[in-house]
Structure 1
Amino acid sequence: MKKVAILQSNYIPWKGYFDMINMVDEFVLYDCVQYTKNDWRNRNLIKTPNGVQWLTIPCRFESMSQKINETKVSDKLWASKHFKTISQNYSKAKHFKEYKDLFENLYKEVADEELLSAINYKFLVAINEILGIKTKISKCEDFNLTEGQTLRLVQICKDAGATHYLSGPSAKNYLDESLFEEAGIKVEWMGYSGYGEYEQLYPPFVHGVSIIDLIFNEGSNATKYMNSFNPNFAIEIC
């Protein structure tokens, strides 16, 4: 059995994104599709004393047909600004000092990176390592892409040798499951309920913030608050 998920890259995503990565054998970054402004591709949320705050990578929007993997950063000072904001708001977190140097070096490393996809990829790989996630990360450019919204996903799964496809719940609006069935691939749906609360700065508690919030607050215990590390967690099988 081999399980595959296919999803656009996000900037320092929330814990649910990493749960999805951890639930599969291969995770394909689907950045060969249209870039959408004001979305999770280039921004995410952190906690502050004044509530949640967006951290946004400034990007050039040049055309409606622009793909995620073609999207370029428009201000090279963004990385130092983001790390400064993170430091100001998480310096009192229990495990911030433990991970400070790692993230500071990571932000320095991506500061001169031009492509948004490359930045997101480096953060995903680094955070996977922190969490102990061993899933293979591939890119849509590694595959022969066909036409058709669902057919393309099916073909990627076939090329990857998948027997199961794990999808995010929002895809229920458009995914043609019969095409997966014809290819002998079972579709499963990711769920994001049942998360427990952890020791978070600045109440009230908010689940939908970047994974860095969980890492800085819980350190090596972070995975105890993620569903995919719970042996009793079950996904919906279609």
Structure 2
Amino acid sequence: MVIVPGYLPPISFFKKIINSESIYLCKSTSYQKQTYRNRCIISTSNGIQKLTIPIKHNLKNKSYTNTQIYNESNWQKNHWRAIKSAYNSSPFFEYYVDDFYPFYKKKYKFLYDYNYEMLTHIFKLTELNIIIKNSGKTSDYTEINELLNPKREREEFKSYSQVFVNKNGFQSDLSIVDLIFNLGPETNEYLNSI
């Protein structure tokens, strides 16, 4: 299966890859605007919030691996503040806070590198024993890349405990961080059950 790493991908992304022994990360694809390559969705006290990593627009080179993050903005500080506010009272936030915080301190030049490192770290945290390999072939894409399109309808999954469920109802197919901070070590079991 060939995929493109996204920013804190939705649960549906992990559902598709959970039973794979290995995945290939496509490095030769073009950057596409308005995808989960640079955005994710979390649940806050006010409902759904989209977090978007700002990028530098370069008309000459549109490859994903060369897409640069616009670090002159305070996006990391703002994203971390939003994540902390949304999940600070979740059952496993304190347990995983030190695993995610470094991604909001270290400056990354390229979006692909940031997403790759975050994805491999999430695999370790959730004990997903999937081997990641690099591929340069865009022709090997599978339908999973459609999962990086936030305009598609979010999938409905069985409910689990969420911080703001009493206020907002259960929100399905959010970023994987929602599952990690709410279910902790049971994240892998949940992914295998959907």
For this structure pair, what is the TM-score category when the shorter chain's length is used for normalisation?
A: 0.7 to 0.9
Aligned mates of 1:206, 1:193 — CA distance in 2: 10
> 1:153 aligns to what?
140
Kept in 2, the 8 Å contact 1:42–1:56? The answer is yes
Equivalent residue, structure 2, for 1:133: 128
Query: 1:114-145 CA distances to partner (integer Å, 9 max, x unpaired)?
Result: 0000000111011111111111112224xxx4
Partner of residue 188, structure 1: none
**Percent of aligned pairs with the same amino acid:** 26
* Partner Cα separation in structure 2 for residue 169 and residue 193 of structure 1: 15
Structure 2 residue aligned with 1:195:
157
Query: Normalising by the residue count of structure 1, what TM-score does the alignment of the two structures yield?
Result: 0.70
Greater relative contact order (Cα < 8 A, sep 6+): 2
Deviates more, 1:132-141 or 1:213-222: 132-141
Shift of 1:36: 1.2
Q: RMSD between aligned alpha carbons?
A: 2.4
Q: Is the Cα–Cα contact under 8 Å of residues 95 and 218 in structure 1 kept in the other structure?
A: yes
Does residue 74 of structure 2 align to residue 98 of structure 1? Answer: no
1:207 aligns to 2:172 (yes or no): yes
Match of 1:12 in 2: 8
Following TM superposition, by how much is the alpha carbon of 1:168 offset from its aligned partner in structure 2, in angstroms?
3.0
Aligned to 1:88, what secondary structure does the other structure show? helix
Aligned to 1:179: none
Q: Tell whether the 8 Å contact from 2:38 to 2:54 is kept in structure 1 after alignment.
A: yes
Offset at residue 208 of structure 1 (A): 2.1
**In structure 1, the residue corresponding to 2:121 is in which secondary structure?**
helix
Which range is displaced more, 82-91 or 112-121? 82-91
1:168 counterpart residue number = 144
Residue equivalent to 1:89: 86
Asked whether the equivalents of residues 93 and 201 of structure 1 are also in contact (C-alpha less than 8 Å), the reply is yes
The equivalent of 1:123 in structure 2 is: 118
SS of the residue aligned with 1:11? coil
In structure 2, the partner of 1:220 is 185
Farther off after superposition, 24-33 or 204-213: 24-33
Shift of 1:74: 0.9
Change in 2 beyond 3 A, CA 1:55/1:63: same
Q: Tell me, which stretches of 5 or more residues in structure 1 are unaligned?
A: 155-165, 172-191, 234-238
Partner-residue secondary structure (3-state), 2:6: coil
- For residues 176-224 of structure 1, the C-alpha deviation after alignment (integer angstroms, 9 at most, x for no partner) is xxxxxxxxxxxxxxxx967311001222211121000011111111223
SS of structure 1 residue aligned to 2:84 = helix
- Secondary structure of 2:119's counterpart equals helix
Change (3 A) 1:220 1:88: same
Q: Runs of 5+ in structure 2 lacking a partner?
A: 148-153
Aligned residue type for 1:219: G
CA contact (8 A) 2:23 2:131 kept: yes
**Contact kept? 1:18, 1:128, Cα under 8 Å:** no
Larger Cα-atom Rg: 1
Q: Secondary structure at the match of 2:50?
A: strand
Deviates more, 1:41-50 or 1:16-25: 16-25
Task: Give TM-score, length-normalised by structure 2.
Answer: 0.84
Offset of 1:56 from its aligned partner? Answer: 0.8
1:40 Cα shift?
0.8
| Residue of structure 1 in register with 2:56 after alignment | 60
Paired residues in the alignment total 184
